Structure 1
């Protein structure tokens, strides 16, 4: 059952700097089954939090990877994808990405290239996978060759949110890859964005500095 948006605290992405917090994002066209995949995987845990202010839905999950307990936030687009582009904050601090298309709609497969291009602009190195959803509608589709994943060197999964085929396997493997990436990050964009955050913090912590500067320059303005 969806949470009350009014009861949800402000979205603070700094929590993803913690070793126990992981962020996994989902990408893909509208109606490819992203939310249904979440529902199938989480089952009894399925309590999405809809953050209308940010046009996204969060799904929370706790997993054990190795000997470590990890809190995972799955981010879903909540309608933003209809604009064929996501806000940069959607990608910020993400540790893995699940890209979904509908095997019954060829255009959703073609659009993967656009989603992948945008993803790599913001998160050049995070692990990613391609998910072919709704195979239950026609199992013969699993005999077809979808080369996008192979071309990009990323894992490919045939799944069904309806009957559960490969859903748990895909999510568990992506959780493991997200945790591994977080332990050994390699995104230059992480460093750039962190520097910008630190710069903003320094400015906020020293508001009087601007006032002093203005007072110093004011005689020259007269």
Structure 2
């Protein structure tokens, strides 16, 4: 995997190593096809372990870096699906959640969301409602997972049920960033859901994309005229 600070977000090669464009795939004929990287975002209160979960999943070679001057942190990853490489970008809040609201760009074109709470702090569970409402405002229909983190502190928690996930039909993962429990399983599921959402966007998403293309085409016509 590779670490990508915010200023790289403006680069077309975001999230792809060895100089290859992240949004380009090359077929056997040598032609290049556009392939949008999977965008997985993490949401939740401060100090629930969002960054630690990503770090645990990626493991090898990670060097902690403080980017509090930036609005977010990106981690690039290459997943394997059906013999193909899928570029994945994990977006972390980098402390922006301290303001109790994320910038709309954080949600833009996201393909899956992991909602994280700390099982030792009830308020972080209660606040999932707020984060979920904001997510649905900016990215309705996006698939979500719920992560009950820090189960290593109290293993009895796995006997509990959490209505937030149940009443919304969301998968709940009991995880431990420090011990790695269920971390790989959860992120692999997030990637799978993200791929399906990217390849089968809801009708509203298709309409938005069509309008964006029409707007872009209109601007091109005006420039040529």
TM interval, short-chain normalised: 0.7 to 0.9
Of 35, 52, 58, the match for 2:74? 58
Question: Does the 8 A contact of 2:112 with 2:142 survive in 1?
Answer: yes
Q: Return 5+ residue gaps in structure 2 as ranges.
A: 15-21, 25-32
Pick the structure with more helix per residue: 1
Of 123, 130, 134, the match for 2:139? 123
Question: Does the 8 A contact of 2:4 with 2:73 survive in 1?
Answer: no
- Compared with structure 1, are the counterparts of its residues 183 and 48 closer, same or farther at alpha carbon in structure 2 (3 Å cutoff)? farther
- Compared with structure 1, are the counterparts of its residues 99 and 137 closer, same or farther at alpha carbon in structure 2 (3 Å cutoff)? same
Superposition RMSD on alpha carbons, in Å?
A: 3.0
- Compared with structure 1, are the counterparts of its residues 33 and 187 closer, same or farther at alpha carbon in structure 2 (3 Å cutoff)? farther
Of 95, 102, 110, the match for 1:86? 102
Q: Is residue 2:182 matched to residue 1:160?
A: no
Q: How does 1:4-153 map to 2 (within 5 A)?
A: 8=8, 10=10, 15=23, 18-19=34-35, 21-46=37-62, 55-153=71-169
Which whole-Å CA distance do the structure 1 matches of 2:139 and 2:207 have between them? 11
- Compared with structure 1, are the counterparts of its residues 43 and 119 closer, same or farther at alpha carbon in structure 2 (3 Å cutoff)? same
What TM-score, normalized by structure 1, do the two folds share? 0.81
Aligned to 1:179: 195
Of 170, 187, 191, the match for 2:207? 191
Deviates more, 1:47-56 or 1:20-29: 47-56
What TM-score, normalized by structure 2, do the two folds share? 0.80
Deviates more, 1:181-190 or 1:150-159: 181-190
Q: Return 5+ residue gaps in structure 1 as ranges.
A: 210-222
- Compared with structure 1, are the counterparts of its residues 29 and 18 closer, same or farther at alpha carbon in structure 2 (3 Å cutoff)? farther
What does the per-residue CA deviation read over 1:1-24, in whole Å, with 9 as the maximum and x for residues that have no partner?
Answer: 966766x36255994994251111
Residue 48 of structure 1 and its aligned partner are, at CA, apart by 7.4
Which whole-Å CA distance do the structure 1 matches of 2:115 and 2:212 have between them? 28
Which whole-Å CA distance do the structure 1 matches of 2:218 and 2:159 have between them? 56
Compare CA radii of gyration and give the structure with the larger one.
1
Aligned with 2:115: secondary structure? Answer: strand
Aligned with 1:152: secondary structure? Answer: coil
Residue 208 of structure 1 and its aligned partner are, at CA, apart by 8.4
Which whole-Å CA distance do the structure 2 matches of 1:206 and 1:49 have between them? 45
- Compared with structure 1, are the counterparts of its residues 187 and 95 closer, same or farther at alpha carbon in structure 2 (3 Å cutoff)? farther
Aligned residues: 208
